[in-house]
């Protein structure tokens, strides 16, 4: 076990990450170390960890090495692994670019994830990512306290359940301190649950949705990029549209989901790097 671990802290709309540079895959990253780093009282504190490793140097990335030099090895705060993190990949791309580890070509910067290769297109403050195509595939429900809320299962590489709150239930009033209930037969690997209400029209978007999320492996977070993608897919489907722009407001800010006329799905929003340092791994409990 290493004594000192280099890290950078960053976030996308308040969904925060500890970024661990590990180009050659030498770090002995374990669920316990991830959980300790993400601990908000005894660690650095984050919703998840992004290990920056060359695709060729990670067993889950090696198959993508011909298409993307870098693999985003994403871990949730509880030490579990996930296939995709939409905010994570935007922050990860910001990190690669800021460190000079990669440059964006005319099509963008390819980044390998467990859900496949995505393409990041950097702006000055925002980063847009061409995500894998979301797939709406089943009806299901979530339970929060006495409420049973209908929703749709959406595969964004990772699993999501997008629910629409019934009239009269206020999004802000939902108690998400405890994990919502869901159907384990539909989601055997667990699920990220999004709660939505529709919003008033906003400039530059065809549709506007408010969302809160309870993430698998991280509890309630201020934002979830793949969750916003799932919400965007359901909103466009409900509106009978195949293309369009959906503004998704989360507690941490605004994400924009675009389905373009070439069948591509984009997730855009801010990606911020805050601090760099060293953590004493022995001091983490």
Ligand X SMILES: N[C@@H](CCC[C@H](N)C(=O)O)C(=O)O
x-marked contacts with ligand X along 224-243 as a string, rule CB under 6 A:
xxx-----------------
Q: Who's near 232: CB < 8 A, 6+ residues apart? A: 134, 207, 209, 246, 248, 257, 258, 259, 265
Q: Quote the DSSP letter at residue 62.
A: G
Asked about 85 being catalytic, the answer comes back as yes
Q: Are 19 and 11 in contact (CB under 8 A)?
A: no
- Determine the Cα–Cα distance for residues 128 and 235; give it in Å rounded to an integer: 19
Specify whether the CB–CB gap between 126 and 271 falls below 8 A.
Answer: yes
Q: Of 33, 117, 224, 228, which one is the catalytic site residue? A: 224
269 is a site residue for ligand X (CB under 6 A): no
Site for ligand X in 67-126 (CB under 6 A): 76, 82, 85-88
The residue (of 170 and 177) whose beta carbon lies closer to ligand X is: 177
Q: Is 212 part of any known ligand binding site?
A: no
In this chain, which of 8, 55, 113, 218 binds ligand X, going by CB under 6 A? 218
What is the x/- site pattern for ligand X, positions 125-164, by CB under 6 A?
---------------------------------x------
User: For residue 124, how many other CB atoms are within 10 A of its CB?
Assistant: 5
Minimal distance, residue 111 CB to ligand X, in Å: 13
**Structure tokens given for 183:** 């159907």
Residues in CB range of 207: below 8 A, 6 or more apart: 198, 232, 235, 236, 239, 244, 245, 246, 247
Is residue 255 within 8 Å of 267, Cβ to Cβ? yes
Establish whether 224 is a catalytic residue.
yes
To ligand X, the closest distance from the beta carbon of 248 in angstroms equals 11
Q: Kindly write out the interface string for residues 50-69 of this chain, putting x where it contacts ligand X by CB under 6 A and - elsewhere.
A: --------------------
Q: How far apart are alpha carbons 211 and 47 in whole angstroms?
A: 17
Which residue ranges make up the site for ligand X (CB under 6 A)?
A: 15, 48, 76, 82, 85-88, 158, 192, 215-218, 221, 224-226
The catalytic residue positions are: 85, 224
């Amino acid at each position: 076990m290493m004594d000192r671990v280099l890290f950078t802290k960053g976030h996308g709309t308040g969904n925060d990450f500890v970024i661990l540079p590990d180009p050659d895959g030498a770090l002995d990253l374990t669920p316990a170390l991830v959980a300790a780093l993400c601990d908000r009282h005894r660690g650095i504190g984050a919703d998840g960890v992004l290990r920056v490793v060359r695709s060729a140097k990670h067993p889950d990335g090696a198959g993508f090495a011909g298409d993307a030099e870098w693999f985003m090895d994403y871990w949730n705060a509880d030490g579990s692994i996930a296939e995709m993190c939409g905010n994570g990949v935007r922050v990860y791309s910001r990190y690669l670019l800021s460190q000079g580890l990669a440059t964006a070509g005319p099509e963008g910067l390819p980044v390998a994830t467990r859900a496949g290769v995505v393409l990041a297109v950097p702006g000055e403050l925002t980063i847009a990512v061409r995500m894998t195509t979301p797939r709406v595939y089943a009806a299901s429900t979530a339970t929060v306290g006495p409420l049973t809320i209908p929703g749709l299962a959406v595969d964004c590489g990772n699993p999501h359940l997008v629910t629409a709150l019934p009239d009269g239930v206020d999004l802000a009033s939902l108690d998400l301190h405890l994990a919502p209930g869901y159907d384990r037969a539909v989601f055997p690997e667990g699920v990220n649950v999004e709660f939505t209400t529709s919003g008033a029209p906003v400039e530059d978007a065809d549709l506007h949705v408010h969302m809160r999320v309870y993430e698998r492996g991280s509890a309630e977070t201020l934002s979830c990029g793949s969750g916003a993608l799932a919400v965007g897919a359901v909103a466009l489907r409900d509106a009978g549209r195949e293309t369009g722009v959906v503004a998704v407001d989360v507690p941490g800010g605004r994400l924009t989901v675009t389905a373009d006329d070439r069948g591509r799905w984009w997730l855009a929003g801010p990606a911020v790097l805050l601090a760099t340092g060293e953590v004493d791994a022995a001091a983490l409990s």
